[in-house]
Amino acid sequence: MRALVGPEMRSRWLWTLGVVVLFRLGQTLPAPGAPRGGRRIDGLLDLLTGGGLHRLALLGLGVAPLLLVPGLLLLLRRDGDRPRSAWPPRLTAVGLGALLAVPVALTTPAARVPLLVLSLTVGTGLTVLLAELLTRRGIADGASVLLLVQLLAVVPGLLRAAGGPAAAVLVPVTLLVIGALAVGRTAERRVPVQWAKRMVGVRPPGGRSAYLPFGLGPAWPSAALLALLLLHLPAAVGLRLREDGPVYLTALPLLVLLFALIASAHAVDADGHADRLARQGAFVPGIRPGRPTAEYVSYVGRRVAWAGALLGAVVATLPALAAALTGASDQVSGTALLLLALAVVDVTGHVLHRSGLAHAVRAYAARTQDAPSG
């Protein structure tokens, strides 16, 4: 507990509180050009904006543009590509904010459309700055913290509206999803690597072992967000796809599977791994260096990508399926529960990392594994 409330973490908690208050204030102030009374938008956009679109507030688009940026960058990335600076994600988020603002503004009188689009776009830029400030000075990733704050203000009321029997099913399902997300976040397939022993002086520096890690679930959370947006996008123009319908329950896992596989297609640089191992005098036991190593690494990467994508498809569908089976889809959205689970796991992981607890847990686990038994 001391690690969570030490001097550095105490400063991060205070910064987080201040930014969250400013953000929620910006979601209550009406945007210039917005008509009185606002409008109602159901579905994913209403959740991601914390009711900001209902009020047509200055920060009415909330964190929706920010959450879509990682998924788009994963889908558009080629082998070895990495963002070279911080501006492409910012520019992409502001551009997505402008695109989302257009259909929202078109539902208002024509004379207000240009000013409202400009206001919501500027609001997206302010949200990006607040999120980046949270990322640097706060307890976790800024977009995840802001999303979690919005959902915690909405989900408890939805569960109360669903009733006790439905909540008794939905709460354990949400906890199960959080556990699956936590496992997917840390699980990895380790390919063992060894260095050949060679004499330097009087002692052999080689002969040590290591591994190549292949993470199970780095891509599918972003893939789930993209799939949810695609299925809920018609709500921006007044059309809503029911979450308890067969079309939604079939399309959601298929889209998550598709987007996760596309995002993972270039995540593993097999040739680069093989070249680095060859230059370092390392090898995978039982696999010849060079091209056979590259083919084996690519094979393992594909299998891990399929496993992660299938896990993501199942986990993403569980909340919506549970809400449909309990008849509570009209009161509580499976999308809200899935987003809540994603935000909780992401924020918790960042808090543990920044407080140093994650390193301590890994060190303890390593000592436990290395300790002689019995």
Domain boundaries along the sequence of the chain: 1-153, 163-374
3-class state of residue 188 by DSSP: strand
Q: Which H/E stretch holds residue 118?
A: helix 113-137
**Domain 163-374 of CATH type 3.40.1190.20:** no
Cβ atoms of 279 and 293 closer than 8 Å: no
Cβ atoms of 265 and 330 closer than 8 Å: no
**Which pair of structure tokens corresponds to residue 203?**
């002692």
1-153 and 163-374 have identical folds? yes
**Which pair of structure tokens corresponds to residue 309?**
């994508």
pTM assigned to the model: 0.73
DSSP 234: G
- Rounded Cα gap, residues 323 and 162, in angstroms: 9
- pLDDT in single tens digits along all 374 residues of the chain: 565 667 778 888 999 999 999 998 988 888 887 776 555 555 566 676 766 777 788 888 888 888 778 767 666 655 445 544 444 678 888 888 888 888 778 877 877 888 888 988 998 999 999 999 999 998 888 888 998 888 887 788 778 877 888 888 888 998 999 988 888 878 888 888 887 665 455 444 444 558 888 887 667 777 887 888 788 777 656 667 788 888 888 999 999 999 888 877 767 778 888 888 888 888 888 888 888 888 998 899 888 888 888 988 998 899 889 888 888 776 667 888 888 888 898 888 888 877 765 555 555 444 544 444 44
What is the topology classification, in CATH, of domain 1-153?
Preprotein translocase SecY subunit (1.10.3370)
